[in-house]
Homo-oligomer: A and B are copies of this chain.
């Protein structure tokens, strides 16, 4: 985990503002649950509207929420004028995603000048408790206004 301080003192507000602009998060009924420097948690319900063919949550729900969590974890450390873009991201699925909702906890592994490495852990929550169902890791890039 990185120990960088955030470059933008208003990072909590700015991450929340950016999150509100992601139409995809609204379509998935996702909530921005927690924003810390280098770590962001997003929650989304599991239901028929995000299922795959066997009734589990579609892996795309996990990947999408995890990608946003990892990306916003990176954005939380960046300057106010910068934007974040995913370069590549891989998910390893550990268990079928069954339950009431998922949480994705994104964190920054390396905060570089241009390239960053971020990860996300995905958990399901339901009657049987909390379960680690997927792990993601990928590369993001920092885009500056003059870049």
Could you say which of A5-13, A33-41, A49-57, A122-130 contacts chain B? A49-57
A92 to B87, Cβ gap below 8 A? yes
Q: Is the CB of B93 within 8 A of A90?
A: no
Instruction: Among B24, B61, B65, point to the contact of A50 (Cβ < 8 A).
Output: B24
Interface residue tally for chain A (C-beta within 8 Å): 49
* A43 close to B (CB within 8 Å): no
Are the C-beta atoms of A139 and B139 separated by less than 8 Å? Answer: yes
Oligomeric state, in copies: 4
Contact of A91 among B28, B52, B83, B88 (CB under 8 A): B88
* A79–B116 CA distance with the chains assembled, in angstroms: 25
Hey, which chain B residues are within 8 Å of A94, CB to CB?
A: 109-110, 117
| A8-66 contacts to B (CB < 8 Å) | 18-19, 21-24, 26-28, 47-54, 58-61, 63-65
Other A-B pairs, 4, CB within 8 Å; known A59-B86, A60-B60? A21-B53, A87-B92, A87-B139, A114-B114
Binding site for B on A (CB under 8 A): 18-19, 21-24, 26-28, 47-54, 58-61, 63-65, 67-68, 83, 85-96, 109-110, 114-115, 117, 135, 137-139, 141
